[in-house]
Amino acid sequence: MGPTRVLTKDGGFGTQMTVHVGNAVDGDPLWSARFNATNPAAVINTHLDFLQSFPLILASIGPYGAHLHDGSEYTGAYVDDVPLKEITDWHRIRIDACIAAGVDALAIETIPCQAEAEALVEMLCDDYPEVKFWISYQCKDESTLAHGENFADVARSLWELLGERNARSKCLAIGVNCVHPKFVTPLFKSLNGNTPDAEKIPLVAYPNSGEVYDVAKGWQGREHCVPLASYVSEWSKLGAKIIGGCCRTYARDVRLISESVKEHNNLNRLI
C-alpha cells in the first residue's frame, strides 16, 4: 500500500447543525432530518460549512436497523431475523437515489454486523460495478463489532471477498465510525499492526468526539476529550487513508484534523 496521502473526511452533520438551529437536534425522533422540512436553509448551511473545504461528495448509506426505530442499529440484532435480500432491497432504493443525484462515491457506514456489510458488497459488485465506496463498521469495544463479530476477522474476510470479486480498486477503505476514539488504535492494530506497509488494508476512521451520551443529561465529558487531530499520525501509520469525525465533531474540529493531515502528507512527500 505504501505511504500514500491521507484524505480528510467531514464531521458530525447533526452536531454542526446545532450551530444554526441550537440544541434542537438531539432527542428529536427525526434527529437532524426534521430540518429538511422545517428549516431547509439550516440544512444547506450545515453542508456548506463542510463543503467549503471538501470537493468530493459521498452519500451516507447507514444500516438497515436505523429505520426500525428500536435501537437495533446499535446491536445489529435485526440481521438474525431479517433475510439479507430484504436488507439489500431496502438499501437499493436509497443507493439508486444517491447515485442518480450524482454523488462521487458511497459511504457504507455505521454497519453493526458482518452479514449486512458483505451482502452490500456483493450487491455493489453485481449491480453497481462502477461505483466507488467504503465500508465502515460500528464497534462496541476495542476488538468487536456491535453485533459481536471480531473486527479484524470481519475486515480481512471483506478484503478477501473484494479480492475474489476483483473489486479492491472500487473500495476506498474499510474501517470504523461512530466509535469512541480510544478504540480506533487497538482495532486498527488488530488488523494491520503486524503487516508490512505494502500489504496493509486501507482504512477509514471517523470516531465520535469521545463524549458519552446520557438520556437525561445529554452529551457529557467534552472537557476530557482528546482532539481527534492528535491521532492522525498514529492512525495513518496503521493504514488509515481517510480520517474525520462523527458525532459531536464540529467543522472547527475537522479543520484541525485537516491541518494535521496536511502536515502528515507534506512529511510523506519528503520520504
Residue spans per domain, the chain:
7-16+42-269
CB 203 within 8 A of CB 238: yes
CA torsion, ordered 248, 32, 254, 193, to nearest 10 deg:
70
Q: What is the mean pLDDT of residues 248-263?
A: 91
- Average per-residue pLDDT in the chain? 91
pLDDT tier, 270 (very low <50, low <70, confident <90, very high otherwise): low
What percentage of the chain exceeds 90 in pLDDT?
Answer: 68
What are the pLDDT digits (tens) for 16-29? 778 888 876 777 77
What are the pLDDT digits (tens) for 46-79? 888 777 666 889 999 999 999 998 999 999 999 9
DSSP 29: T
pLDDT tier, 257 (very low <50, low <70, confident <90, very high otherwise): very high
Classify domain 7-16+42-269 by CATH number: 3.20.20.330
Q: How far apart are the first and last CA of the chain?
A: 15
| 81 burial via Cβ count (<10 Å: 0-12, 13-18, 19+) | exposed
Given CA atoms 173, 266, 53, 32 in this order, what sign does their dihedral have? Answer: positive
Q: How many CB atoms sit inside 10 A of residue 144's CB?
A: 17
What are the pLDDT digits (tens) for 143-193? 999 999 999 999 999 999 999 999 999 999 999 999 999 999 999 999 999
Reported pTM = 0.87
CA distance 246 to 13: 8
CB 153 within 8 A of CB 194: no
Per-residue model confidence (pLDDT) at position 77: 97
Q: How many CB atoms sit inside 10 A of residue 52's CB?
A: 9
Q: 188: which 3 cell numbers?
A: 486498527
pLDDT tops 50 at residue 1: no
* Residue bearing the bigger pLDDT, 87 or 57: 87
